[in-house]
Structure 1
Amino acid sequence: MKKLQLTPIQRKSENTISLINIVFLMLIFFLIAGQLAPPMDSEVDLIDSTETDPVPPPDALVAREDGSLHYRGNPITVEAYLANAPGSDASETSGETSQGSTPSNIPVRLVADKDMAAKTLVDIVGQLQSAGAGKVTVVTMRSQ
């Protein structure tokens, strides 16, 4: 029986030094490039907008403290809002979908009164989702 001599498999060593050099050069580049931007004029004071009144989104559904829903100042129901909601196919046609049902997966922006009970807000969101609304976003005001 003849034995074959096996040569050990040589693995090619990974050279990470070149990768480290590239990352280091990129770091130096961004440090220098960040300092090349001209500084803002020191004589200019930026406008402060903390004193302005917040403007709600124009197509948002408004929930008042008592739980009543309003759209553009008029009282409305969940079903009527979803049937004529901006972005729905029904709002561009006669007010009904082609199947005669409420449109589904319509994103809703909800502006809620801060004095509204949390249970009432959760109930309104539940009504919207069960009626076919998609993502319901509650619009809030950023605190100063």
Structure 2
Amino acid sequence: MELSRLIAHMMFRAGREVLPDANLIVPVPLHYGRLWYRRFNQAAALSAHISRLSDIEWHPSALERRKRTRPQVGLSRAERANNLQGAFHVPRNRRQLIEGKRILLIDDVLTTGATANACAKALLRAGATDVDVLVFARVVVGA
């Protein structure tokens, strides 16, 4: 948490191409069980700072993780996608926040893109017009 402000500033600078088009900032959510265990959601902390820096509306609970998934570490690309099947959704009472908006989805690390893809699909199903993803780090395998 101590680094979230610094990392968010770096992400804000790196995201200058996608930030001007965004109407709403949404973090990748944690399952409530994992949030309870960790006590914080790093994507939510980063997205809150980026929202303040950019003056773009932030809604940390627009997207929910309704399925507890096993950790993605060590899973193949296909296993990751399968693990996340049906994990994310936009609750009916929050769809009006998403409909017609360009969403900037925030996460800390992108590995295979399975999580970002699953979140984007849920946001698009809820009526978002577009979803961009901004992350702090990207894992490159075999580089």
Q: Give TM-score, length-normalised by structure 1.
A: 0.35
Q: Answer with 1 or 2: which has the greater Rg.
A: 1
Looking at secondary structure, tell me which structure has more strand per residue. 2
**Higher relative contact order, structure no. (Cα contacts within 8 Å, ≥ 6 residues apart):** 2
Q: Give TM-score, length-normalised by structure 2.
A: 0.36
Looking at secondary structure, tell me which structure has more helix per residue. 2
